[in-house]
Amino acid sequence: MENSELRELIAECPLQIRMNDGREYFVEKPEFIIVGDYTAGILYDDEGVKRNAVISIINVSCVIPNASVNGK
């Protein structure tokens, strides 16, 4: 994925981000993600606790726009 593609998808929050290694992140609001050249910083919910992560954009396998909490 390119950083420009991810930037465009931010407008369609909430997003489900799936990584190549199987990790998934649910991004509730556009304010909870910032996209750089090669990485993105995200704030996500982990069983009721807000956590942050820095992900490598090149390792994003897919982004599901307008996702629900369960990714369905």
The structural domains of the chain, with segments of one domain joined by +, span 3-65
Residue with the bigger pLDDT between 17 and 71: it is 17
Tokens of 57: 């954009």
Selecting from 2.40.30.10, 2.30.30.100, 3.90.180.10, 3.40.1010.10, what CATH number does the domain 3-65 have? Answer: 2.30.30.100
**For the whole model, what pTM was predicted?**
0.88
- Can you list the positions of beta strands (E) in 1-72? 15-19, 24-27, 33-35, 39-46, 49-56, 60-65
Please say whether the beta carbons of 32 and 44 come within 8 A: yes
1 CB burial (10 A radius; 0-12, 13-18, 19+)? middle
pLDDT at 70 over 70: no
The average confidence (pLDDT) of the chain is: 93
Tokens of 36: 């750089």
